Structure 1
Amino acid sequence: MDVINPATGELEETYDTETAADVDDALDDATETFDRWQTRPLRERERLLAATGEELRANDRSYAENITREMGKPISQALDEIEKCAWVCDHYAEHASTYLNPDGHPSPPGAVAKTAYEPLGPQLAVMPWNFPFWQVFRFAAPALTAGNVVVLKHASNVPGCAQAIENVFRRAGYPENAFQTLLIESTLVDDVLEDERVRGVTLTGSGPAGRAVASTAGHQLKKSVLELGGSDPFIVLDDADVEAAAETGASARMLNSGQSCIAAKRFLVHTDVYDAFLEQFVDDVEALTVGDPTNPDTDVGPLASSTFLEELDTQVEASLEAGGRAVTGGEPLDREGAYYPPTVLVDVPAGCPVDSQETFGPVAAVFEVEDETDALEKANETEFGLGASIWTDDRDRGRRLAREIDAGCVYVNQLVKSDPRVPFGGIKDSGFGRELSEAGIKEFVNRKTVWVE
C-alpha cells in the first residue's frame, strides 16, 4: 500500500499488505482473545478505555500529523479529530456500565425477568479514510467495552493511521489481540466476513461497498451496521438568523475540505432571504484559507487524492454544462497537489450531478425555494437520508419540520454532527443501524432474556 501525500503528490511510505494466511492467524488470535476478554469485569474494560483517551491526548500531535500526511486534513482539524476520539473514550468509560446494566421486565410473583447484554465475539470494522481515527474509535470504543474484540480493515490510503490506532490500544494496556489491524486489499473483505469466527460487521463508506457487505452479512446471517453516503439538506427559512446560518453553513460544507458524509451539501434557502444569505455565504466561503495542511492557519487542504479531485471536477463540469453557475470557484487550483477551491453553485438544474449525487469535496449547491413546503419537498427528494439542518427563529416550527424530514438526524439551528451522547445513523440509501450513545453500544451485543423462577 503506497501512501501518497495529497498536498504534494509525493510517495511518503509503502506498506506491505497481508495475505490470506495472515488473516487466518489474526482471526485465530481474535477468537482466543475474545474467550478471555469477555470475562473481564466491565469496570476493568472501562478503566482501559479511559487510559486510551489519556494515550490519545498525550500523543495527539503525532497522531494528527499522521492523518494530515496520509489524507490531507488541515492539522488543526486533525488535532480536533484526535480530541473527539478521546471524548468518545471518556464517554463510554463513564457510561458503559449504565448502558449495559440489565433491564428488568414485568413478571409473575416469584419470578424475575431481565435482559442481559452480552458480547457477540470478533467484529469486523471496514472503515474510510476521511476521518481515519474518529470513524474507527466511534465503533471500537463501545464495541470493545461491551466485551467484543475488533478486527479493522481500513482504507488503503491510510495504513499508517490504521497501525497507529492498533498501537493506541496496545499502549493503553489492552490485550495484544483485542484490537487488530489487517492491511489487506478490499478483495479479501468478503472472505473475512464469511469466516465463522467473525460475528458481525460495521462499515462506513460508499453505497456500493455497503450493498456488497450487507449482502454477504445477510447471507451469513450476521449482524451489520452501515453508515453510507449523504446529500444533507441545509434549510434556511424566512425567519432565520441569516448571518449565523451562513457562517455555520460555510463550516458545515467546507470542514475536512468538504469530505464528510454529513456535510451540508444542498442549501435550500427561502426566497425572502435568498439574496442576503447567498451574499453572506459566499463571503464566508471566500474568506477561508486554502493551503498547506500542515499550516495551523489553513482552513481547507487538498482532497485526499488526485482521483477524488478528478471525480469532483467531473461532477462540477457536468453541472455547469447543464446550466448551473459558479459564483465562486468551479475548477481545480493551478498548483501542486489535489487542491479544489471552495465552490458555490447556483441555478442548479434538477438531475445534474451536484443536485442528485453526493459531492465529496468543497462544493455547495444553493437552491432558492418558495416556502417551507417547497423546502421539504426538495430536501426529501434525494435517495439519501443521513442528516439535515433547519434554520429558523421559531423553535416550534423547527421541531415540526424536523419530523417531516426523511433523515436519521435533524439539527435545528446547528450543523449536523456525530456526538457520543446521541445516536447517529441514517435511513434510505444512507444505511441502517446506529452508532454512539446507548444505541451504539447495544448494536453488537446479544440481548439475552434471562427468566429466573
Structure 2
Amino acid sequence: MFSITNPFNQTFLSEYQYFTDNQAISYCEISKKTFTTWSVATLANRLKFIKNLIYTLSKHKDDLAKQCTLEMGKPIKQAVAEVEKCISLCEYYMDNAPDFLSRKTIKTDGAESFVTYEPLGVILGVMPWNFPYWQVFRFAIPSIIAGNTVVVKHASNVAGCAIRIEELFTEAGFPDGVYKNLLISGKQVNTIIDLPYVKGVSLTGSEKAGAAVAAKAGENIKKSLLELGGSNAFIVLKDADIEKAVATAVTARMQNTGQSCIAGKRFLVHKSVYDTFVDRFKTEVQDLKLGNPMDEDVYIGPLARIDLAKEVEEQVVKSVEMGAKIIIGGKRDNAFYTPTIMTNITTEMPVFKEEVFGPVAPIIPFDTFEEAVALSNNSEFGLGVTVFTEDIEGIKQKLHLFEEGAVFINALVKSDLALPFGGVKKSGYGRELAENGIKEFVNVKTVYIK
C-alpha cells in the first residue's frame, strides 16, 4: 500500500495497492493475447484508433493537466502544454507512420530485395514522473502503431495519471491489452522482463534504474532503450545575442521547475559577456512567480516530493561549502526550492558534476571556445548541448567536438517530434521520436529473392 501527497501543500490525495506478481502477469497475458490480432491489423486500422485517442486527449485535456499538477506539482499551464504535445505526437505519427513503416526496396544482385518492419510483441515501458503523459506517449504511441502491445510501469507518485492514461485508451476503443497499466513497484520489474513474450523494454529515468533494467534485459537477450539523466551545457559565446540567450536560458533551466533531463544545467559564458549575462539572467529569474501550481500565473511550483527538494538542497549546500556563491535563491520550504543562481563554480562541485534536478543554475566563465568544449564534455552525461553564437557556419564545422546526442544552436535542447531523441555516455542509448523511434521495437526483416 502506498499513498500520494500533493507536493504543494502536503495534503493526502489518494492511496493505492500494488498488484501482486500474479495480477501483473495476468495483465501481461492479456497484452500477449491481444498482440496476435493487433500485430496483423492493417496500419490504416491501427491509425483509426489513434485518431480516436486524439479526440479523447482533447476532450480531457484540462482534467489530465489538473491531475498532473496535483500529483507532481507541474504549473498548470505547463501541464496543459504537455497534454497538447501528446496530441501533436499522435498527429505526427498518423501523418508519417505509413511512410516510416512502408516496405523499402533495396537494389542488390538479386531479382528482388526489400526490408519490412514487423512488431516484436509485448513491450514494457518503465516511465518517470516529471512528464507523466509525454514520456509515456512518446514511448507507447510509435510502439503501438508499429503493431506492438505495451504494458507500462509508471512512477508511483503519479499513479493517478497512470490510471488516466489507460482510461484514455479504453475510451478511444482500443482492444483490451493494447495498452495496460501495471501498478507495480520497481522491485517487480524484473518479473515482467523475465516473461518470454515481453520482447523489449524502454526506460526513462535514473542512471541506477537504467543500469538495473539494462542488465536484466541483457540477461534475457532482449532489446532495451534507455533515456537517462542529463547535465546539458548551455554555452554563450562572445558574439551571442545576449538578450535572446538569457530569455532562452531561463526557460531551459526553469521550466517544469528544473525537473527535466534535457534542461540546461551548466551555464558556460564567455568572460567578455559574463557579467552582462549574469545580471540579466538574475533579473529575469527574479521575476518568475513561485507559488500554487494551479495558479495560471505561476511558473515555478514545488518539486515533485520533499525528498527531491532535500536532494537539491544538499547539492547546493555542499557546493557552497566548497566555495560556490549563491547570487539569488538557495532556500527550501518543504517541497519548494527557490530558483537559484550560483557563481564561483569548480568542476568538482556537485552542481557541476552531478545532475541537479531542480531550479539551480551554476554559471561558469570561460576564455576560449576550446575551454568551453572541454567544460561541456566534462560530464558523465551526453544528452545535449546548447550553443549561442552568431557564427552558425563556424559551429557547424565543429559539431563533432561535442560528446552529445544533440546540438542545438541558438535554441534550448528539446524533444522535437521530427528529430531523433536520445543521448550517449551515461545518458543512455537508443532513440525515440521521428522515424528512429517507431523502428526501435520492430524486427527489421531482410527479404532477398534470387
TM-score for the superposition, normalised by structure 2 = 0.99
Q: For residue 418 of structure 1, what is the aligned residue in structure 2? A: 415
Residue 398 (structure 1) shift: 2.6
Cα deviations by residue, 1:355-379 (Å, 9 ceiling, x for unpaired): 1000000001100000111100000
Q: For residue 442 of structure 2, what is the aligned residue in structure 1? A: 445
Q: For residue 359 of structure 2, what is the aligned residue in structure 1? A: 362
Residue 209 (structure 1) shift: 0.5
Q: For residue 185 of structure 1, what is the aligned residue in structure 2? A: 185
Residue 399 (structure 1) shift: 1.6
SS of the aligned residue for 1:152 comes to strand
Distance 1:181 1:380 in 2: 38
Distance 2:9 2:79 in 1: 18
Q: For residue 89 of structure 2, what is the aligned residue in structure 1? A: 88
Residue 403 (structure 1) shift: 2.6
Cα deviations by residue, 1:120-144 (Å, 9 ceiling, x for unpaired): 0000000000000000000111000
Q: For residue 146 of structure 2, what is the aligned residue in structure 1? A: 146
Q: For residue 250 of structure 1, what is the aligned residue in structure 2? A: 250
Contact 2:268 2:364 in 1 (8 A): yes
Kindly indicate whether residue 399 of structure 2 is the aligned counterpart of residue 398 of structure 1: no
Q: For residue 26 of structure 1, what is the aligned residue in structure 2? A: 27
Kindly indicate whether residue 270 of structure 2 is the aligned counterpart of residue 273 of structure 1: no
Alignment of 1:342-353 (within 5 A): 342-353=339-350
Distance 1:283 1:191 in 2: 51
Distance 2:58 2:320 in 1: 45
Distance 1:403 1:389 in 2: 14
Cα deviations by residue, 1:265-314 (Å, 9 ceiling, x for unpaired): 00000011111111111111111000100000000000000000111100
SS of the aligned residue for 1:199 comes to strand
Contact 2:386 2:411 in 1 (8 A): yes
Aligned Cα root-mean-square deviation (Å): 0.9
What 5-or-longer segments of structure 2 have no aligned partner? none
**Aligned AA for 1:2?**
S
Contact 2:30 2:176 in 1 (8 A): no
Distance 2:109 2:365 in 1: 60
> Which one of 423, 432, 435 corresponds to residue 432 of structure 2?
435
Distance 2:298 2:168 in 1: 27
Residue 11 (structure 1) shift: 1.1
Q: For residue 47 of structure 2, what is the aligned residue in structure 1? A: 46
SS of the aligned residue for 1:23 comes to helix
Contact 2:32 2:177 in 1 (8 A): no
Q: For residue 77 of structure 2, what is the aligned residue in structure 1? A: 76
Cα deviations by residue, 1:399-425 (Å, 9 ceiling, x for unpaired): 233331111011000000001111000
Distance 1:85 1:382 in 2: 31
Contact 1:391 1:398 in 2 (8 A): no
**Aligned AA for 1:202?**
S
Distance 1:35 1:452 in 2: 28
Q: For residue 55 of structure 1, what is the aligned residue in structure 2? A: 56
SS of the aligned residue for 2:233 comes to strand
Distance 2:51 2:392 in 1: 37
Distance 1:140 1:92 in 2: 12
Q: For residue 37 of structure 2, what is the aligned residue in structure 1? A: 36
Farther off after superposition, 172-181 or 118-127: 172-181
Cα deviations by residue, 1:60-102 (Å, 9 ceiling, x for unpaired): 0000001000000000000000000000000001110100111
Alignment of 1:148-187 (within 5 A): 148-187=148-187
Aligned length: 449
**Aligned AA for 2:54?**
G
Cα deviations by residue, 1:233-270 (Å, 9 ceiling, x for unpaired): 00000000001101110110000000000000000000
Alignment of 1:284-299 (within 5 A): 284-299=284-299
SS of the aligned residue for 1:365 comes to strand
Q: For residue 16 of structure 2, what is the aligned residue in structure 1? A: 15
Distance 1:9 1:87 in 2: 33
Residue 39 (structure 1) shift: 0.9
Alignment of 1:63-142 (within 5 A): 63-108=64-109, 111-142=111-142
Contact 2:123 2:201 in 1 (8 A): yes
Cα deviations by residue, 1:200-251 (Å, 9 ceiling, x for unpaired): 0000000010000010101100000000000000000000000110111011
**Aligned AA for 1:281?**
F
**Aligned AA for 2:403?**
D
Residue 350 (structure 1) shift: 2.2
Contact 2:203 2:226 in 1 (8 A): yes
**Aligned AA for 1:275?**
D
Q: For residue 339 of structure 1, what is the aligned residue in structure 2? A: 336
Residue 17 (structure 1) shift: 1.3
SS of the aligned residue for 2:363 comes to strand
Distance 2:48 2:435 in 1: 18
Distance 1:194 1:408 in 2: 30
Distance 2:44 2:403 in 1: 39
SS of the aligned residue for 1:446 comes to strand
SS of the aligned residue for 1:344 comes to strand
Kindly indicate whether residue 408 of structure 2 is the aligned counterpart of residue 407 of structure 1: no
SS of the aligned residue for 1:40 comes to coil
What 5-or-longer segments of structure 1 have no aligned partner? none
Distance 1:95 1:49 in 2: 13
Contact 1:234 1:390 in 2 (8 A): yes
Residue 393 (structure 1) shift: 0.8
TM-score for the superposition, normalised by structure 1 = 0.98
SS of the aligned residue for 2:275 comes to helix
Distance 1:108 1:416 in 2: 44
